[in-house]
């Protein structure tokens, strides 16, 4: 299987790709706020998938989001 640039072997978006799709985020943000922003930024499906797998909670910074995303890889 050929994967897109910025996609892990497991099919999740890379942290850099996710951060690019969350451009303009204001923190704290809920999981749904982040998903909606990514969709508004025309994020690819692997990025949306990665965000749907993080826990429902308030995220206080991009680093906080990436810690949760990293747990899913």
Task: Please state the pTM of the whole predicted model.
Answer: 0.82
Per-domain residue ranges for the chain? 15-72
Q: What is the pLDDT of residue 72?
A: 66
pLDDT in tens, 13-69: 888 899 999 999 999 999 999 999 999 999 999 999 999 999 999 999 999 999 998
Q: Dihedral of the CA atoms 15, 19, 25, 26 (nearest 10)? A: 50
Q: Answer for the pair 61, 27: CB distance below 8 angstroms, yes or no.
A: yes
φ/ψ of residue 29, rounded to 5 = -135, 145
Which string of b and e fits 16-28 if b means at least 16 CB within 10 Å?
ebbbebbeebeee
């Amino acid at each position: 299987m050929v994967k897109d640039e910025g996609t892990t072997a497991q099919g999740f978006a890379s942290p850099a790709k996710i951060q690019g799709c969350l451009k303009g985020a204001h923190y704290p943000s809920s999981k749904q706020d982040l998903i909606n922003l990514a969709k508004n930024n025309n994020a690819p499906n692997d990025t949306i998938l990665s965000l749907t797998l993080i826990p429902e909670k308030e995220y206080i910074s991009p680093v906080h989001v990436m810690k949760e995303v990293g747990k899913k890889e």
